[in-house]
Structure 1
């Protein structure tokens, strides 16, 4: 499944109303409803960042992440955030394909910048497999334990 995704990376203006709705609906379904985390998902960052969308063979959203330029969240590093896949696709390799593409896009857009992210503590191994290292103590974010990670 993961190898058949078609990737789109664009600014906020690259969304149609339908593709924006699909991205926000997936984020809401997983981060707010499934994980029972009440937080401000619509935080203003969407307007300034890049949006990475992986579409399946039917053109449906399978994977999503947002990419943030250096200086917007972390002073000296770009950032990957809102990493999410369609729940039915868990275990299919889509998550690995998404993170690999997110890292590739960050390297393309900001080649001299380290990459940082805020990882849910129970997913550390996943991010460590991509070269990310923990650089903070654990902290609560929306009721879920997180750590900040960095890849130089």
Structure 2
């Protein structure tokens, strides 16, 4: 098996069918199977031109993934951060976060962090922006990063 590649950055409207399948495969494994989320993953955002998918892969498929998109109001959000179980602990999600911050870090970015990951996101400059909430049966913390203008 070859090593992990450089991050792939792809707009939702530029994804191939195979890429969509690989994305949904890692998200299904992490969110539906491991975390037993109780809400549908497919939400109508993935294929929009305002959605950008960022991932790393090896010969076995996607190792780490996230998506970022802008809302109708223009706010950039990060979500669906997932790393394959056998690829954890290698800093892969951190590489993806750095990719996002290099591209869009001069503006406001928001996310809903799973509560246990609050400190990890804080390491990228995100701060709590409200009260905890439940999403997909998991406690989350709203966070935002105001950018580095």
Q: Answer whether TM exceeds 0.5 for this pair.
A: yes
In structure 2, the residue corresponding to 1:42 is in which secondary structure?
coil
Instruction: Name 1:86's counterpart in structure 2.
Output: 84
Q: Structure 2 CA distance, aligned partners of 1:47 and 1:4?
A: 25
User: Is 1:11 matched up with 2:47?
Assistant: no
RMSD across aligned positions (CA): 1.8
For 1:144 and 1:76, the matched residues in 2 are separated by 26
TM-score normalised by structure 1 residue count: 0.85
The answer as to whether partners of 1:137 and 1:147 remain within 8 angstroms in 2 is yes
Quote the offset at 1:76 in angstroms.
5.2
User: 96-105 or 80-89: which moved more?
Assistant: 96-105
**What residue is the counterpart of 2:132 in the other structure?**
138
Report what 1:151 is aligned to. 145
| 1:20 to partner: Cα distance | 1.1
Q: Offset of 1:87 from its aligned partner?
A: 1.3
Residue deviations 1:120-144, cap 9 Å, x none? 0001010000000000101110110
Structure 1 unaligned regions, length at least 5: none
SS of residue paired to 2:79: strand
Structure in which a larger fraction of residues adopt helix: 1
TM-score, normalised to structure 2's length?
A: 0.87
Q: Find the aligned partners of 1:143 and 1:65 in 2 and give their Cα distance.
A: 20
Supply the distance in 1 between the matched residues of 2:15 and 2:134 (Cα, whole angstroms): 31
Q: CA deviation at 1:93?
A: 1.2
Supply the distance in 1 between the matched residues of 2:100 and 2:64 (Cα, whole angstroms). Answer: 11
User: Does residue 126 of the first structure (1) align with residue 115 of the second (2)?
Assistant: no
Q: CA deviation at 1:64?
A: 1.0
